Amino acid sequence: MSDALLAERVVLEDFAAAVRAGLSRDPREIPARYLYDRGGSELFEQITYLPEYYPTRTEISLIQRHSAAIAERVGTRRTVVEFGSGSSAKTPPFLNAVGARAYVPIDISAHFLESAAKNVSAAVPDVDVYPLPGDFTHKLDLPAEVADHPKLGFFPGSTIGNMSTFEAVDVLRAFRATLGDDAHLVIGVDLKKDIGTLEAAYDDSQGITAEFILGILRRMQEDLSADLEIEDWEYHSFWNAEMGRIEMHVRAVRPTTIDLDNGHWSFSEGETIHISNSHKYTLEESALLARCAGFRQVEAWTDPERLFSLQLWRA
C-alpha cells in the first residue's frame, strides 16, 4: 500500500473510532475537528463571508489596524510562531506589518505545511520559514535555527473558542512552554455580546452553517458507509449562558437510527448529537484565561461595536 493510501486509511480509522465512541457517550457527541474535510473546509470558508458571521472580517480589520502597534510594543525582527497555521493564506500581511525575521508555521497536516512554506516564501521572501509538523496542544521543540530569537506567538481565528475553558488553559500553557520566556502571543478572542447577534452568526439565513454541521452525517455515509437518513436530522444551535458558549448540534426530527459495521444506535425524536462549541469571553474573563496559562494580557483591541478582540499577551 502506498504512503498516501495508508495515511488515508489511518484518517478513516480515526474518524470511525471517534464516531463509535462519541455515539456511545451520554450526551452523544462527535468532535468538531471532523467537520473540516475538503467539503467542510470549503463550507467554513463560505461561512467567513456571510453577513451574519462577523468574526473573520472583524479580526482581519483589527489585525490591519493594530499590527504596527504590536510591532512597537514587542519590537520587530521576532520569530512568529503560528499555532495551527493551515495553509497560512492570511499570514503574510501580518508578517510584513510586524517586521518578522522568521516564521514557524505549526500544523498537524504536512500537506498544509508544504503549501504554507510555498505561500509565505513567495509573499514575504525576506522571512525565513521553518515549518514544524506537530500537535500544538503539546509542548513542541522549535527549530534550532530560531532558538535564540525572541518569539511572537500567533493564534488568530478565535480557535480558542472551540475548546472548553478547561482545555483552553491546557493548550495555552503548552503555547507558553513552546514559546519560552522572552515571548508574546497575539490571540483572537471572540467576545460575549447580545444573544441575537451570537445566534444569527451560527444559524445564518442562507443555511450554510446548517449545511456545514449536518455535513458530518454525510461524511459518515460517504467515508464510513454509515446507514442513516439525512432527512431525519436538522441543525440546532443555541446560546448556553451557563457555559458561555454557542452549541451546535444535529437533532433527530423523528425517531431514527444510525448503523455502522459494528454498531447500532437509536435516537428518539428531539435527541441531539453535539458537534461543536464556540466559547465567548469578556475582556476580563480572557485576562484571567491569560493568567491561568502563565501570560499577562498587555493589550486588547476591539472594534467599535465590541464584537471581537485582538489581544497581546506577554509571557
Separation of alpha carbons 272 and 170, rounded Å: 28
The minimum distance between CB 13 and ligand AVJ, in angstroms, equals 25
CA-closest candidate to residue 217, choices 230, 208, 202: 230
Q: Give me the residues that bind ligand AVJ (CB under 6 A), please.
A: 47, 55, 157-159, 161-162, 202, 209, 212, 276, 278
The minimum distance between CB 236 and ligand AVJ, in angstroms, equals 13
Q: Which is nearer to ligand AVJ, 276 or 311 (CB)?
A: 276
The minimum distance between CB 48 and ligand AVJ, in angstroms, equals 8
The minimum distance between CB 152 and ligand AVJ, in angstroms, equals 21
Q: Which is nearer to ligand AVJ, 202 or 265 (CB)?
A: 202
Place of cell 472548553: 164
Place of cell 505549526: 106
The minimum distance between CB 80 and ligand AVJ, in angstroms, equals 20
The phi-psi region of residue 264 (left if phi > 0; otherwise alpha if psi is between -120 and 50; otherwise beta) is beta
Q: Are 106 and 140 in contact (CB under 8 A)?
A: yes
Q: Which is nearer to ligand AVJ, 211 or 229 (CB)?
A: 211
CA-closest candidate to residue 236, choices 189, 208, 264, 203: 203
Q: Which is nearer to ligand AVJ, 105 or 161 (CB)?
A: 161
What 3-state class would DSSP assign to 99? coil
Q: Which is nearer to ligand AVJ, 44 or 301 (CB)?
A: 44
Residues 6+ apart with CB under 8 A from 195: 239
Separation of alpha carbons 62 and 150, rounded Å: 23
The minimum distance between CB 237 and ligand AVJ, in angstroms, equals 8
Residues 6+ apart with CB under 8 A from 175: 83, 136, 153, 155, 185, 293
The minimum distance between CB 102 and ligand AVJ, in angstroms, equals 26
Q: Which is nearer to ligand AVJ, 85 or 162 (CB)?
A: 162
Q: Which is nearer to ligand AVJ, 77 or 192 (CB)?
A: 192
Measured from each CB, the residue nearest to ligand AVJ is 278
DSSP conformation class of 231: G
**129: which strand partners?**
103
- Nine-digit cell string for 18: 471517534
Q: Which is nearer to ligand AVJ, 101 or 249 (CB)?
A: 249
Burial (CB count <10 Å: 0-12, 13-18, 19+), residue 133:
middle
The minimum distance between CB 161 and ligand AVJ, in angstroms, equals 5
Q: Are 40 and 219 in contact (CB under 8 A)?
A: yes
